Chains A and B, each alone.
Chain A
């Protein structure tokens, strides 16, 4: 979100301990971060707790010697690290190492659908991507991260980010084509 100057908001928190700015920061990122954490296949409850803990640490350590240069990347990276730790403690595995599995896309399509319904249809297509693909797609589209930033947050190569995004586009186009023809069919997974 390039508009509101998030970094300036954080700098205010850092310099003046302003709780209202901290609240704005929290409200701004909370939902997106919880969603990101659930994308990393964590339960909703655990995700909320992890995001909360990240902000607790942020508030407690706001007077650290090294100021945080990029607060947004910091938050997503911190959430991601905690999610991985959570997995390590709970299940001893990480989803990024899982074989990618894409579910087939199913559902009823009517020839005349409203824009909103088409949006849902496309959301659904994104939902059928692999967890990694879905997460990458959302970080770029909804959070406005650059490829390199996504790569840094998830500790993968920028090339993987690009490949996954291209796959998402391909999925979306397939979904559009099925949608356009009003077919009640499955989109085959590739």
Chain B
């Protein structure tokens, strides 16, 4: 095997320029050589873990603007009549009012980012925190000098830049997650009646809108799920902590990367769709979001099939074909519409 060809394929894979034929070639190679697959997995992890660039100190911007404000033209030394001064003062006053209004609107306005079905995004906030957004999600954020607040509908993974002076708070449905320098996942799709957060690194405190005093503190690899239907139970019961990986796995794992692909809650961040014991109907919802397709069932028995597994670079057709290996069903794919029977 030509090692240069492998480098080429891996490079294309990493930079997202691999075409279908290349993907097939690579998959085949990796199946024959699991050690290369392991290398590629580590390189992908590395590739995606771009260090957060810190925003410069505020003074850097001020100094630059001061430079920009220096007049280029020579001063006009003509004397002005008093009424011209008065007119100028009035205009300046008006401008100040206008710009204050504009500024005020801009300052209080939240910035909004949205993803469609089948779309995932990664970006950096102005404080240096990194956000990975899963499909069909909506994020509003307000970063100011005192706080960093995020409103989430859908699912996102946060790598929070440390800034003790400005708490980082995520509001999702009625759940609030309060973080200081940490990495965690929040899932709160409207209509699912369930909201959950999983901590990978650092520490977060979770509390409900109506019981802000009752805070649950999570340790890494724990998650808390809040069920809307359960809303009358005591906070202790509602915010029940569950480990997401077994203790033995944790003990063995010497080197857990920041985005841990063994945890299914955050596999999507590494572009993997991972699921455990979901019935086909639930899985269809995930597939719809992931691939940006619509799935309808024509056979109710099929809905009850239960699947576990993960997909990475597969197309939706390949994914369904893989599912056909475990359970018997048929499907038709008309591009964005898929019928399962």
Residue numbers of A with Cβ under 8 A of B are 1-5, 16, 18-21, 23-24, 26-28, 30-32, 35, 48, 52-53, 55-56, 59-60, 112-115, 118-119, 122, 140-142, 147, 162, 165-170, 172-173, 176-177
Contact = CB atoms under 8 A, between A and B. Distances in A.
B255 A115 contact: yes
9 contacts: A3-B122, A5-B113, A23-B61, A27-B61, A30-B55, A60-B68, A112-B255, A115-B255, A147-B15
Contact of A122 (B11, B46, B60): B46
Contacts of A55: 64, 68
A39 to B, nearest CB: 14
A56 B64 contact: yes
Contacts of B68: 55-56, 59-60
Contacts of A168: 11
Interface string B73-105: 000000000000000000000000000001100
B56 A31 contact: yes
Interface residues of B, number: 48
Interface of B: 3-4, 7-8, 10-11, 14-15, 17, 39, 42-43, 45-47, 49-50, 53-56, 60-61, 63-65, 67-68, 72, 102-103, 106-107, 111, 113, 121-126, 131, 133, 254-258
Contacts of A177: 39
A166 B39 contact: no
- Nearest 5 pairs between A and B by C-beta? A3-B123, A31-B53, A27-B55, A115-B257, A169-B11
B170 to A, nearest CB: 16
Contacts of A166: 4, 7-8, 11
Contacts of B4: 166, 170
A170 B15 CA distance: 14
Contacts, number: 115
Residue among B3, B56, B125 facing the most chain A CB atoms (10 A cut-off): B56
Interface centre among A3, A16, A142, A147 (most CB of B within 10 A): A3
Nearest to A60: B68
A183 to B, nearest CB: 16
Contacts of A147: 15, 17
Given A114-B255, A119-B49, A172 B102 contact: no
Contacts of A28: 55, 124, 126
Contact of B43 (A18, A20, A165, A172): A172
Given A30-B56, A115-B257, A173-B10, 13 more contacts: A1-B122, A4-B111, A20-B103, A35-B53, A52-B63, A55-B64, A60-B72, A113-B255, A115-B255, A122-B46, A140-B15, A169-B11, A170-B7
Nearest to B48: A141
Contacts of A169: 7, 10-11, 14, 43
Contacts of A26: 56, 61, 64
A30 B102 CA distance: 25
Nearest to A30: B56
B43 A173 contact: yes
A173 B125 CA distance: 31
B126 A24 contact: yes
Contacts of B64: 26, 52, 55-56
Interface of A is mostly: helix
A55 B131 CA distance: 26
Select the residue from A4, A60, A169, A172 with max chain B CB neighbours within 10 A: A169
Contact of A115 (B67, B125, B256): B256
A14 to B, nearest CB: 15
A105 to B, nearest CB: 15
B67 A52 contact: yes
Contacts of A115: 45, 255-258
Contact of B106 (A2, A3, A18, A176): A18
A118 B42 contact: yes
A56 B281 CA distance: 56
Given A112-B254, A140-B15, A2 B122 contact: yes
Given A28-B124, A115-B257, A176-B39, A142 B50 contact: yes
A60 B10 CA distance: 44
A147 B126 CA distance: 26
Nearest to A143: B50
Contacts of B257: 115
A31 B54 contact: yes
Contact of B254 (A5, A35, A114): A114
A1 B67 contact: no
B123 A56 contact: no
A112 B4 CA distance: 29
Contacts of B17: 147
By CB atoms of chain B within 10 A, which of A27, A118, A172 has the most? A27
B14 to A, nearest CB: 7
B10 A4 contact: no
